[in-house]
Amino acid sequence: MPLALRLRGVVKRYGRITAVDHLDLEVPEGTCVGLLGPNGAGKSTTMRLLTAQAIADEGELEVLGHRLPGDSKAARAECGVVPQLDNLDTTLTVEQNLRVFAHLYRIPRAERRDAIERALDMARLADRRDTRADKLSGGMRRRLLIARSLVHGPRLVLLDEPTVGLDPQVRQELWALIDALRAEGVSILMSTHYIEEAQRLADTVTIMADGRAVASGRPSELVLEHVGREAVEVYGPPARLAEAEAEARAAGYNTRRTGTSVSVLGTERANGDAPEGERRPANLEDLFVLLTGEEAE
């Protein structure tokens, strides 16, 4: 399958800190790839590298067939970017925000109105076209950011933590919007630290920790490969949890603490030494914690 995006051995350093460390990443055309990692894993830096707002110290970057950073402008013309932090023109209306970006993305005059209407419809903001951006709710502002990134009909959309800080209902609305994009064949790279978001939207995920890609593939295959099929959830008082954790580790199982319980992972391999507890299928969250050492949200 042709690639919308390809990174090979990309390194980005800020002084003595290596934010991205020999990262390999691929987004096949028409797929949604989730870039999953805890805060500080290097996800946002990776996003900035893809728009040439950060320049790699080493490695190769190719976006839609354009080599970066040299051909970044051509690549950016075909990409849409939804930033983690809101950077709308707050004193402008919804439609004016889109009109500005229709100009910045060089949409010909004859096509501009249709492009704006299409973006408004897709983001379900047509009835808010004359509302100033600073009068919109948080969810609507996010939808406007997405509409802004779509106004020129991009082939690749970069979503940097698209639902961070939003309530669950608004998050669901945005997921539907992103899913509709994917259904239209737009390639998507989405950074997130929400497990559920990656699980619902991404065809494949790349898990990042300390600037490195520690695992990459389909969520179910990654879970099977690194965690196993099954986990046992052990509940009890803190002393019991500590005891269960120690026993499981001694028996060679991976474990994770989730506050009120201990999850013992990969218990389908047990030979009668599995702890007593509630059995459940292993999931992406188990994988995330196992590989990054951090609790997921």
Partner 1 sequence: MSATAAEPAAAARPRTTLGRLERPALMGVLVREIINFSSFWKSSVFSSTVEPTIYLLAFGFGFGSLVSHVAGYDYVEFVGTGTVATAVLFSSVFSAMFGSFVKYQFQRTYDAILAAPVDTEELVTAESLWIAARAGVFGCAPLLVAMAFGLDPSWGMLLVPFIGFLTGYGWACFGIFIAARLNSIDHFSYVTSTVVTPMFLTAGTFFPISGLPEWAQVLAQFNPLYHCVQLVRGAAFGFQGWVDVYHVAALVVFAVAMWRLAIHYMGKKLID
Eight-class DSSP state of 129: T
Beta strands 66-68 and 58-63: pairing type?
A: antiparallel
Report the residue number, 88 or 190, with the smaller CB distance to partner 1.
88
Helix, strand, coil percentages, rounded to 5, for the chain = 40, 30, 35
134 binds partner 1 (CB under 8 A): no
Q: Cα(227)–Cα(247) distance, rounded to whole angstroms?
A: 18
Minimum CB separation of residue 88 from partner 1 in Å reads 8
Residues 6+ positions from 104 with CB-CB distance below 8 Å: none
- 94-104 and 138-150 helices, crossing angle to 10°: 30
Alpha-helix runs per DSSP H in 78-202: 94-104, 109-122, 138-150, 168-183, 195-201
Give residues 55-114 in contact with partner 1 (rule: CB under 8 A).
55-61, 67-70, 72-74, 76-77, 79, 81, 83, 85-92, 96, 99-101, 103-106
Minimum CB separation of residue 206 from partner 1 in Å reads 16
Report the residue number, 88 or 188, with the smaller CB distance to partner 1.
88
6 to 45: interface string for partner 1, x by CB under 8 A? x-xxx-x-x-------x-x-x------------------x
Binding site for partner 1 (CB under 8 A): 2-3, 6, 8-10, 12, 14, 22, 24, 26, 45, 48, 51-61, 67-70, 72-74, 76-77, 79, 81, 83, 85-92, 96, 99-101, 103-106
